[in-house]
Amino acid sequence: MKITVGLALQSAIAHGREVETLFALYSEPNLEKAQRLHDKLMMSRSHYDREVAIWLEPLLELGPFKSDPKGLVAEMRKMEFLLYVLINRAGDAQREVNDWMNYIANAAESLAEGFWIDAKILLSQALEISQSASVEHLKSDPSLRYEVDILQRATASYFGEIRTYPLKLAIPEERLETILRVQEIILDLMQMQYREKHEEDDEVIGIAIRRLNTAIRWLMNKDKELSAAEQEVKLASEHLDEKKSKVADKGRRKLIYECSEKMKELIETRGSLTES
């Protein structure tokens, strides 16, 4: 539960959403509170709010299926073609229609390959851009009004269908504690990075965050050797040690040092990432 809330919290921090409720939920995971927060965020017109809600869904009981995922993939691939045809007629909204098409195409591919969280997020993005002012303006053209309206309704319908698809995180139980420790370091670094943006700090903190996120992906994949995750944590720590002098703010440098030390301790202690 805590790992799942942590993933939602990472999304919220990265996109500048409200995080106070999520931090409280991270400290004391609670299914009822997670359900209420999910339902509230999912009703938002902002994709970024809905993305946070999607990351909470592995905690919730979703379903039953309203449709066969294979059928939904086929429908989205038809829509991809229709949007492709629409691009050259879209005038000033060509970029938006092109992005809409790409979100639909990538969502279909993710759904077909079994990456349902990615598919939900991509369809949420498709829904948001399909409702943008530029796309809405296309409906002022009588020759496009009906076609655009149908495509908008279909996008909303596909997102409504995929929202019911259940999500579960398959995490090896013996790795849970290690993942939590890595995630806590990521959250510390992300709060530092996004609380007060400094361009010179992005190279330092951003690269370490990406490496630690890769480590978590490897840890969550039972087919990946633990040594792969250990290497990413080690490289993240070395990167912070090497680059922290570039950070002008003394307080931020101290926090970076503390995060680096936590990574070293993680590798060196009994809870290290190496196989026993």
Instruction: For residue 253, name the pLDDT band (cuts at 50, 70, 90).
Output: confident
pLDDT in tens, 141-187: 999 999 999 999 999 999 999 998 998 888 889 999 999 999 999 99
Sign, Cα dihedral of 44, 47, 52, 55: positive
Task: Specify the pTM.
Answer: 0.88
pLDDT: which is higher, 224 or 74: 74
Give pLDDT, residue 276: 44
Q: How many CB atoms lie within 10 A of CB 138?
A: 23
* C-alpha to C-alpha distances, 265 to 182, 224, 230, nearest whole angstrom: 11, 22, 12
Between CA 144 and CA 7 the distance in angstroms is: 40
CA atoms within 13 A on the CB side of 134: 14
Give pLDDT, residue 162: 93
| Strand, coil or helix: 250 | helix
pLDDT in tens, 104-127: 999 999 999 989 999 999 999 999
Give pLDDT, residue 62: 78
Q: Is the pLDDT of residue 273 over 70?
A: no
Between CA 161 and CA 63 the distance in angstroms is: 10
Give pLDDT, residue 244: 83
Q: Which of 25, 8, 48, 49 is nearest to 167 (CA)?
A: 8
Contacts of 265 (CB under 8 A, 6+ apart): none
Q: Token pair of 237, please?
A: 């720590």
Residue 24 phi/psi, 5-degree rounding, is -65, -40
CA atoms within 13 A on the CB side of 203: 9
pLDDT in tens, 14-31: 998 989 999 999 999 999
Give pLDDT, residue 215: 94
pLDDT in tens, 61-110: 876 777 789 999 999 999 999 999 999 999 999 999 999 999 999 999 99
Between CA 179 and CA 119 the distance in angstroms is: 24
CB-based burial, 220-253: b 16+ in 10 Å, e otherwise = beeeeebeebbbbbbbbbebbeebbeebeeeebb
Average pLDDT value for the chain: 91
